Amino acid sequence: MEFLYLGIVIFLFSLSIFDLSVGVSNDAVNFLSSAIGSKAARFKLILAVAAIGVFVGATTSNGMMDIARHGIFRPECFTFEQLMCIFLAVVASDVILLDMFNMLGMPTSTTVSMVFELLGGSTALAFVKMLHDHSLTYAQLINTDKALSVIMAIFISVAIAFIFGLIVQWIARCIFTFHYTKHLRYTIAIFGGLSFTSISYFLIVKGFGTASFMTPEAKAWIASNTSTILISFLVGFTILTQILHFFKVNIFKITVLFGTFSLAMAFAGNDLVNFIGVTLAGFSSYQDFMMHPGADPTTYLMGSLNDEAKTPLIFLVMAGVIMILALTFSKKAHNVIKTSVDLSRQTAGDEMFGSSRFARRLVRGVMNSTEYILAHVPQNVKTWVNSRFNQDETILEKGAAFDLVRASVNLVLSGLLIVVGTSLKLPLSTTYVAFMVGMGSSLADRAWGRESAVFRVTGVISVIGGWFMTAGAAFFLCFIVTIIVYYGGIVAMILLMATVVFILWNNSRSYKKKMSSVKRDEIFTELVETQDPQVAWPLLSKHFMNTQTEVIRFVANTYALITDGLVEEDVKKLRRVLNDLDDQKKSWKVQRRKEIIGLRKVDPLVAVEKNTWFYLACNSCEQSFYCLKRMCEPIFEHVDNNFNPLHEEYLQEFAPIKNDIIAFIQDIAQMVENNEYSRAIELREKGDEMKAILSNLRKQQQHRIAQSTATSLKVDFLYLSMLQESQELIGHFRHLIRACRKFQH
C-alpha cells in the first residue's frame, strides 16, 4: 500500500512540472502584455526581465502553501487516504483545465482554478463523510468563509480594476496626450516619482514582504514606518526621474520594464502555490504518514497539515527554473498574450472575436448615454478634451499595439491595486486585475471605436465568462473525479493517471495541428502599421487580390463538390459542403472587414474612386455564397431523404456545361491572382454564352415538366433549380470580373 501512495506522490510531482508550464503560459499575460504590446524593448529583453522576476519571486516565496494545506478544508477531519484522493483529483483537473484554456488562447485565473478544485474535491468527500456520520456538518469540514471571500473578490476585482483603469488612463491621457513627448518638461518627474514609488511599495509588500528571509521584526519595522518610506521614495524617485529625463532617458520604458519585473516577481512568489502547493501538501502528508509505521491510511487523520508549511529551497529553485523555461519556449503563452494585446489595440485590427447580441446592445446603450451626457457638457470643455485625445498624433513604436503611456499606467495601476487588495486581506487575482486594468485603459484611450467596439466588448465578455466557467468547471470536474477515485480505488487512480497523460498528449497534438493550419496575415499587419498612403495602396491591392482568389477557387471547388454529391448521392460530402460554406463566409467577412480598414489607410481620393468597385466585388462574392447554399440545401435534403436520383438523360446533358462552368471560374481565379485582365472581355463573353446555354436548358426542362405525367416531380424541379442557380452564379462572376479589374487598375 505504501508503494501505491509513493507512486501517487511521484505522479503529483510529474504533473506539477507540467502544471508549472501551463500555469506560466496562462499567467504570462499578467506581466508581459503591457511590455510586449507597447514594444517597450526587444522581445528577448522583456522576457529576460520577466524571467529574472519570476525566478526571484519563486525562490524568495515563503510559499503561501498553507492555502493548499488547510485554507479550504479542515485536514484534521480527513484521513490520509481521503486527502491523497483529493490531491490527485485536484492536480489532474487543474492541468487539464489550464491546458484547455491555453489552447483556446483565453487567460484565466490559476488561483480560482486551484481554490475551486480544492473546494470541489473536499466537498465530494465531505458529503461522503456526512452520509456516514450524520453528526458532522459541512461547516465543520470546509472553510466556507474562505470560499465565499474568493467569490466576492472575483466580482470586486473585475469591477474595480476596470473602473480605475478607465479613470486613471483618462487622466494620464489628458496630461500627456498621444503626442506625449511634447508634455514631459514639468510632468515626467512627478509621474516617474509616483510610478516608481508605487512599484517599489508593491515589491516590498507583495514581493519581498512575503519572502522567507523577511523576519517578523523587519515586517514590523516596515509596517510602522510605511509613511516615511513612501515619502522618501517619492522624493528620491522624483529627483532621479528628472535627472534621467535631462539625459534623454525614456522614463516610460524604464517604468514598463520595472513594472514587468515587479509583477512577474509577485506572480511567482504568490501564485506558486497554485502550481505546486497541492503537490507539496501531498508530499508532506506522505512524509507524515510514513513516520507512523503500521498506521491505517483509512483512519489516520491529517491534522499535521495545520502546521505552517516549510517548503525546501530546492523545490522553489527548481520551480523557478521550470517557470523560466516555460516562459521562454511556450508558444501557448504567446497565444494567450496575443488575446489580451489584440483586445486593447489602439487601432482597429484583426479582431479575434465576432459580434454578439449582448455586445451590440451594450455598445448602443453606452453610446446613447454618452451622447446624452455630452449634450450637457460645455463646448469649450469638449473641444479641449478632444484636443488631448487627437489620435493622429499618436507616437507608437513600430509594430506596437498601444503607446508607452498606457503600458506604464497598466503596470503601475495593476501593482497598486494588488497591493491595496493585499493590505485589505482581499484574495485578488493578478489575472483579473491586470486584464481588466488593460481593458479599462484601452476604453479610456478611445481604442474601442465604433468600428471595433462590439468585437472588443464581445471579447472581454468571452474572457470574463471563461473566468466564471473556470470556477464552475473546476469545482464540478474535481468533485466527480474525487468521487470516482475514492470509490474506484487503485484501478481508478491508475486509469486517471493514464487518462490525464492521454488528454495532455492529444491536446498537444491538436494544438500543433491547429497552429500549423493558422496563417498569419502579414500583409494586413503591414497595412495596419503603415502611415504612408503610398505604401498602403499596394498592400491593400495585394490583400484584395489574395482574398478574391481564395474565394473564387473555393466557389469553383464547392460547385464541383455539390454537383458530384448529387450524382454520387453522397450525403457526407454535401453535409461537409454546407459546413464549409458557413466557415468560408465567416472567414470572408473577416477579410472584408480588414480591407475596409485598409481603405481608410490609402489616399482619400483613391479610396473614393475604388470604394464602389470594392463593394461591388464584395457583393458578388456574397451572392455567390448564397447561390451555392441555395443549390446545396435542397440537394442535400433530396439525397438525405433517399429520393429518386438524377435521370441519366439529365446527367449527360448537364456534364459538359458543368465542366465549362468550373473551368470558367478557375480562369477568373487565375486572372485575378496574376492581376492580368487582358482576357476580361473574353471571359465575360464566355459567361454570356454559358448563360444562354443554361437558359435553353431551363426552357427545355420547363417543357419536360409541363409535358410530364409522372406522379413525382421532385427530381425534375431539383434539376431546374440547379440550372437556375448555375446561371445566377455565372452572372455574379461576370460582375466580379468587372469589379476586380476596375478596383485594381
Given a contact cutoff of 8 angstroms between Cβ atoms, the answer to whether 79 and 49 are in contact is no
pTM of the model: 0.72
Mean pLDDT of 665-691: 92
Over residues 439-454, the mean pLDDT reads: 80
For the ranges 139-148, 259-268, 363-372, 423-432, the lowest mean pLDDT is seen at 423-432
Name the pLDDT band for 180 (thresholds 50, 70, 90).
Answer: confident
Q: Of 309, 302, 303, 304, which Cα lies nearest the Cα of 67?
A: 309
* CA-closest candidate to residue 190, choices 229, 227, 247, 245: 245
Q: Report how far apart, in Å, the C-alpha atoms of 264 and of each of 10, 29, 190, 322 are.
A: 28, 10, 25, 14
- R_g (Cα) of the chain, nearest Å: 32
Binning pLDDT at 50, 70 and 90, where does residue 17 land? confident
Question: Would the pLDDT of 711 be above 70?
Answer: no
Q: Which residue has the higher pLDDT, 618 or 68?
A: 618
Cβ 266 vs Cβ 309: under 8 Å = no
* Average predicted confidence (pLDDT) for the chain: 83
Handedness of CA 231, 235, 236, 237 (dihedral sign): positive
Binning the chain into helix, strand and coil, the percentages to the nearest 5 are 80, 0, 20
DSSP 644: P
Nearest to 200 by CA among 253, 251, 259: 259
Helix 571-599 and helix 522-529, axial crossing angle in degrees, nearest 10:
20
Alpha-carbon distance of 94 to 114, in angstroms, equals 7
Q: pLDDT-derived band of residue 686, with 50, 70 and 90 as boundaries?
A: very high
Quick one: CA torsion of 731, 737, 738, 742, rounded to 10 degrees? 160
Q: What is the pLDDT of residue 109?
A: 74
**Cell 517597450 identifies what position?**
40
Q: Which residue has the cell 481608410?
A: 600
Ramachandran angles phi, psi of 153, nearest 5°: -65, -30
On the question of pLDDT at 516 being above 70, the answer is no
The pLDDT-based confidence of 269 (bands split at 50, 70, 90) is low
Out of 3.40.1160.10, 3.20.20.70, 1.20.58.220, 3.40.50.10540, select the CATH number for domain 524-744: 1.20.58.220
For the chain, first and last CA: distance in Å?
80
The number of helix segments (H) and strand segments (E) in the chain equals 26, 0
CA distance 577 to 559: 9
Backbone torsions φ then ψ of 142, nearest 5 degrees: -125, 140
C-beta neighbour count of 288 within 10 angstroms: 17
Cell of 137: 456538518
**Is the pLDDT at 708 greater than 80, yes or no?**
no
pLDDT at res. 63 = 47
pLDDT of residue 336: 65
CB-CB contact of 406 with 131 (8 Å): no
Say which range, 169-173, 544-548, 565-569, 594-598, has the weakest mean pLDDT: 594-598
Closest among 233, 230, 244, 152 to 189, alpha carbons compared: 244
Worst-scoring range by mean pLDDT, 118-132, 168-182, 203-217, 243-257? 203-217
Split at pLDDT 50, 70, 90, the class of 333 is: low
**What share of the chain in percent tops pLDDT 70?**
90
Region of 446 please: left (phi>0), alpha (psi -120 to 50) or beta.
Answer: left
Q: Is 301 helix (H, G, I), strand (E, B) or coil?
A: strand
pLDDT at 208 over 70: no
For position 205, what pLDDT does the model report?
A: 67
Residues in the chain: 745
Query: What CA–CA distance (Å, rounded) separates 607 from 171?
Result: 36
3-state secondary structure 245-291: HHCCCCHHHHHHHHHHHHHHHHHHHHHHHHHHHHHHHHHHHHHHHHC
| Residue 336 grid coordinates | 494567450
Residues 511 and 333: their CA atoms lie apart, in Å, by: 13
Whole-number Å distance between alpha carbons of 547 and 588: 8
Position 157 scores a pLDDT of 78
Q: Among 7-11, 151-155, 284-288, 580-584, name the one with the lowest average pLDDT.
A: 151-155
What local confidence, expressed as pLDDT, does residue 626 receive? 93
Q: How far apart are CA 478 and CA 125, in angstroms?
A: 11
732 or 29: whose pLDDT is higher? 732
Residue 591 corresponds to which cell in the numbers above? 477579410
What is the model's pLDDT at position 571?
A: 92
Q: What is the pLDDT of residue 207?
A: 57
Q: Amino acid identity, residue 392?
A: D
What is the H or E stretch that residue 248 is in?
none
In angstroms, the CA 240 to CA 254 distance is 12
Type of residue found at 108: T
586 vs 67, more confident: 586
Question: Which residues, 6+ apart, have CB-to-CB distance to 614 below 8 Å?
Answer: 544, 595, 599, 739, 743
- Residue appearing with cell numbers 473585475: 158
Give burial (CB, 10 Å; 0-12/13-18/19+) of 373. Answer: exposed
pLDDT tens digits, 314-331: 887 888 888 888 777 777
How far apart CA 131 and CA 705 sit, in angstroms, is: 74
Cell of 731: 452572372
Reported as a single tens digit per residue, the pLDDT across 126-154 is 998 888 888 888 888 887 776 677 667 76
Residue 357: pLDDT over 50:
yes
Of the candidates 281, 282, 267, 279, the one whose C-alpha atom is nearest the C-alpha of residue 323 is 267
Asked if 477 contacts 113 with a C-beta cutoff of 8 angstroms, the reply is no
pLDDT in tens, 640-653: 988 888 888 888 89
Q: Stretch 519-541: mean pLDDT, rounded?
A: 83
Question: Could you tell me what percent of the chain has a pLDDT over 90?
Answer: 21
Residue 355's φ and ψ, nearest 5 degrees, are -105, 135
> Is residue 694 pLDDT above 50, yes or no?
yes
Round to whole Å and give the CA distance between 199 and 141.
Answer: 40
Q: Which of 210-214, 263-267, 682-686, 740-744 has the lowest mean pLDDT?
A: 210-214
Stretch 174-192: mean pLDDT: 84
Residue 604, C-beta contacts closer than 8 angstroms, at least 6 positions apart: none
> DSSP for 529-589?
H---HHHHHHHHHHHHHHHHHHHHHHHHHHHHHHHHHHHHT-HHHHHHHHHHHHHHHHHHH
> Phi and psi of 439, rounded to 5°?
-70, -40
Q: Averaged over 238-260, what is the pLDDT?
A: 89
CA separation for the pair 430, 272 (Å, rounded): 12
Confidence of residue 528 (pLDDT cuts 50, 70, 90): confident
State residue 148's pLDDT score: 74
- Using CA atoms, how far residue 325 sits from 54, 471, 515, in Å, is 11, 28, 21
Whether pLDDT at 413 is above 80: yes
Q: Is the pLDDT of residue 283 over 80?
A: yes
pLDDT at 106: 67
Confidence grade of residue 428 (pLDDT, cut at 50, 70, 90): low
Identify the pLDDT of residue 447. Answer: 81
**Annotated domain spans of the chain:** 2-512, 524-744
Once rounded to an integer, what is the mean pLDDT over residues 379-390?
87
